Amino acid sequence: MSTVEILRPTHNPVEFDISRSPTIPTTATTTATSTTSYHDFVQELLSSPNHLRLTAEGFSAESPSSASSTNGERLFPSLPPLHYGHSDLHLRKGIMNASHLASEGEVDAEKAFFVADLSKVYAQYRRWVSCLPEFKPYYAVKCNPDPFVLRLLAALGTGFDCASNNEISQVLQIGGSISPDRIIFANPCKALSFIRNSCKMGVDMMTFDNCDELYKVKRVHPNAKLVVRILTDDTKSLCQLGLKYGAPLSTVPGLLAKAKELDLNVIGVSFHVGSGCYDPSVYMDAIRRARSVFDMGLNAGYSFDLLDIGGGFEDGLFEQGAAVVKEAIDQYFPDRRGIRMIAEPGRFFVAKAFSLAANIIARRAPFPHPTCNWNEAAQQIDAEADQPSVMYYINDGVYGAFNCIMFDHQTVQPYVLSLDGSFHVPSTEIQTNCSVWGPTCDSIDCVCPSTRLPSSLRVGDWLGFDNMGAYTVCAASQFNGFEVSKVIYTTGGGAAATEVRNILAAFASASRQRG
C-alpha cells in the first residue's frame, strides 16, 4: 500500500536539525527526482490515475475524471468549487498546495484552512430523521451559516432558526424554494426594527418571553404567529441560556392573558435546555413543563398547535436524547393530532463536518546543551516538571476559528498532519508535553494549554483539529490583522458523495429556474 511521504523538496519546515534530509518521496506510481519541480510533482501526483484517496479501508485509487480533480466543480457560481474525496485527502492537498506556494514566495501561503465534508451533514440529517421522525429540524443558523450547509439543508427540506434580520435574509436569498414559513425568528428579545422588517419579509413565526415584546409585536407585526418561550432546567449544558431567556411558568398565565388582550395570535410553546446538553434526561422535565403551558393556553382561550423543543443535541448522546424525547412526548402528548413538532439543532448537524489544518509558524523550545540533542532536552524537562517543555504557535487562534474555546466552552485536541514534510508519523515518535498558541499578540490566545505531541515537530509542520464545525468560523474575527480561515468543500467518498452532489445539483437547478 502506497503512502505520500514528503511534501516538499526544499526549506519548509524550518530546519533546526541538520540531520534531516529534505528529499522528495517516491510512491508506487510517481517518482520525483531532485531535478523535478515541485509544481510538476504535485500536478503529476494529483492527476495520476492512481493518485491516493483516503477511505475507511485505507488509500485507494480515484479516477482523475471525477470532480476531485484539482479545480473541483462549481455547482453554484458564487461559491467555491465542490470536490469529491475524503476530507483527509483534501487536508493533504491543501498542505501540498501551501508548500508549493510558499516555495514560490507567496505571502501567507501557509495560512490555516478548513475542509468541510458535506456528506457528514447529510449523514446527520438521515440520523435525525431516523431517530426523531416526528420532529422537523429547524437548523440554528447562528451555529454555522455556511452557504453550502444552508443550501444542503434547504434542499433536504429543513426549516431554519434565525436570530437576526441578516440571518433571515441569508436564508431567503439562497434560492430554491425557501419560503418565509420555513423560518422561526427564535430570538425572544428583538429590536423593534427587526420585527418590522420580518413582517416585510413574510416571516410570521417568532418567539417571546416578556410583556414588552408583545407590545412591540402588536405595534409593527400584529399578524405574527407567536411562540412563548419558557424557562427550563439548563444546568446540564455547556452553554446555559436560562440566565438570559425563558419565561418562568409562574409568569406564563399573565403573558398569555396580555397577548389575548392585545388580540395577538399565540400558536405554541418553545424551550431550550442549553447548548451542548450532556444530560438528555432534562428533556423529560422540559416537555412536562411545555404540556402544562399548553393547558395554560386553553385556559387563556388559545388552542396551541406548535411544540418547539429547541436545541442542545449532542452527537455522542443523540440516540439517548431522542429516546428521552420520544418517551416524554408519548407520556405528555399522547394525542398529538394537529400539533406540529419542531426542534432547533445546530451543532448536531455541523460539528463533525469541519476539520481545520493549521501551520506551526513559531516555536519556543529549550536550548539543548551541546552534548545532547533537542529530544533529550525535552525529555529531561518532562521528567523534571509536569509543565509544557515547548510552546508551538499556529496561524489560527481564539480570535479566529478557536473562538469556540472562549465562547462555546470547547476543548480542542491537536494531532499531527505532517511532520518534516511527511504525512506519515511513525508510532515510535517520542511524545513531549507542550502547549499550542494562536498567532495574535494577546496572551489569552491559547489554543491548548497542555497536550502531548511529537518532540520532533518543527516550524512549518502542520497540526489538524477535528470537530470544528460549530461556533467556529461564524464568530471568527480579524483581530491583529489575521484573516479568517477559508473553507475547502468536499462531498466525501462513496455512494453518499453522489447523493449529496445530486441533491445540491437539483437545488442549484431549481434556483436558476426561479431566477
| Active site amino acids | 441
Half-sphere exposure for 312 (CA within 13 Å, toward CB): 30
Q: ∠ CA 284-316-231 to the nearest 5 degrees?
A: 35
> For residues 488 and 47, what is the distance between their CA atoms, to the nearest angstrom?
18
Residue with cell 515518535: 429
Radius of gyration, alpha carbons of the chain: 26
Residue labelled with grid coordinates 437548523 = 139
Place of cell 420585527: 195
Place of cell 501557509: 110
Pull the grid cell for residue 351.
460539528
* Non-local CB neighbours of 97 within 8 Å, separated by 6+ positions: 42
The beta-strand segments (E) located in 339-419 are: 340-343, 354-364, 390-394, 415-418
CB-CB contact of 84 with 502 (8 Å): no
The end-to-end CA distance of the chain, in Å, is 49
Please calculate the CA angle 349-143-166 and round it to the nearest 5 degrees.
125
Q: Does 13 sit behind a cis peptide bond, omega within 30 degrees of 0 on the bond before it?
A: yes
d(CA 374, CA 283): 53
Report the alpha-carbon distance of residue 1 to residue 265 in Å, rounded. 65
DSSP state string for 177-242? T--GGGEEE--SS--HHHHHHHHHTT--EEEE-SHHHHHHHHHH-TT-EEEEEB----TTEEE--T
Bridge partners, 116 (sequence order)? 354, 489
Find, among 346, 244, 325, the residue nearest to 282 by Cα. Answer: 325
Residue 263 in grid coordinates: 388580540
Q: Are 62 and 53 in contact (CB under 8 A)?
A: yes
Burial class (CB in 10 A: 0-12, 13-18, 19+), 453: buried
Cell numbers placing 240: 446555559
Evaluate whether 110 touches 361 at the Cβ level (below 8 Å).
yes
Burial tier of 369 (Cβ tally within 10 Å: 0-12, 13-18, 19+): exposed
Q: How far is residue 207's CA from residue 269's CA, in Å, rounded to a whole number?
A: 9
Backbone angles phi, psi at 44, to 5 degrees: -65, -40
Report how far residue 225's alpha carbon sits from residue 265's, in angstroms, rounded to the nearest whole number: 6
